[in-house]
């Protein structure tokens, strides 16, 4: 995959070359169109937004686990010994399965819609939590979704 550089001369590039900070909304739209047009093979790029530009590109669930289990803020990367370990990712996966198979389950209404309309009730539940995080009452907050805007 080719490295794409900003086309607006005043767009700042962060320490991570994938982080661009356009000067204004007009430049943002130019950069967005440039990124989309630069994608080859007709593939759509993925874009993700979140509440704080200092945060890493991680799901809300991972940010919650980092804070609850490791005691670190969302913008902090775990040390390399943790981040590079299989145990870290197995722990996150285990906690995700614990949350969405033991602690939290789709409602009877969502289960009914699964039978009636063929929807995925777990996906619908996580989508709801993503859109309305205040409804997530579990100790470990969030979902594993990284949103895509097309």
99 and 111 co-located in one domain? no
Within a domain: 37: yes
The rounded percent of the chain whose pLDDT value lies above 90 is 17
* Bigger pLDDT: 118 vs 51: 118
The SS3 assignment for 21 reads: strand
Query: pLDDT tens digits for 36-61?
Result: 888 766 666 665 566 677 777 788 88
> Measured between alpha carbons, how far is 97 from 67 in angstroms, rounded to an integer?
18
2 and 35 co-located in one domain? yes
Within a domain: 143: no
**Cβ-based neighbours of 82, under 8 Å, separated by 6 or more:** 70, 88
Count the domains in the chain: 3
127 and 115 co-located in one domain? yes
> Measured between alpha carbons, how far is 25 from 49 in angstroms, rounded to an integer?
15
> Measured between alpha carbons, how far is 122 from 129 in angstroms, rounded to an integer?
11
> Measured between alpha carbons, how far is 96 from 145 in angstroms, rounded to an integer?
12
Judge if pTM exceeds 0.85. Answer: no
68 and 95 co-located in one domain? yes
User: Does position 148 have pLDDT exceeding 70, yes or no?
Assistant: no
- Domain encompassing residue 86: 56-103
Within a domain: 32: yes
**CA atoms within 13 Å, Cβ hemisphere of 58:** 21
> Measured between alpha carbons, how far is 21 from 98 in angstroms, rounded to an integer?
37
Torsional sign, CA 33, 38, 41, 43 = negative
88 and 62 co-located in one domain? yes
Within a domain: 68: yes
5 and 31 co-located in one domain? yes
91 and 112 co-located in one domain? no
Within a domain: 27: yes
> Measured between alpha carbons, how far is 50 from 137 in angstroms, rounded to an integer?
20
Within a domain: 125: yes
């Amino acid at each position: 995959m080719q490295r794409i550089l900003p086309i607006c001369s005043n767009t700042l590039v962060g320490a991570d070359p994938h982080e661009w900070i356009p000067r204004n909304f007009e430049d943002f739209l130019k950069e967005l169109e440039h990124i989309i047009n630069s994608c080859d093979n007709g593939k759509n790029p993925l874009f993700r937004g979140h509440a704080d530009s200092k945060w890493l590109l991680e799901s809300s669930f991972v940010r919650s686990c980092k804070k609850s289990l490791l005691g670190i803020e969302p913008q902090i990367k775990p040390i390399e010994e943790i981040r590079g370990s299989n145990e870290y990712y197995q722990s996150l996966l285990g906690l995700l399965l614990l949350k969405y198979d033991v602690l939290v389950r789709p409602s009877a209404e969502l289960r009914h819609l699964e039978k009636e309309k063929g929807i995925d009730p777990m996906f619908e539940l996580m989508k709801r939590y993503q859109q309305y995080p205040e409804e997530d009452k579990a100790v470990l907050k969030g979902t594993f979704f990284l949103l895509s805007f097309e």
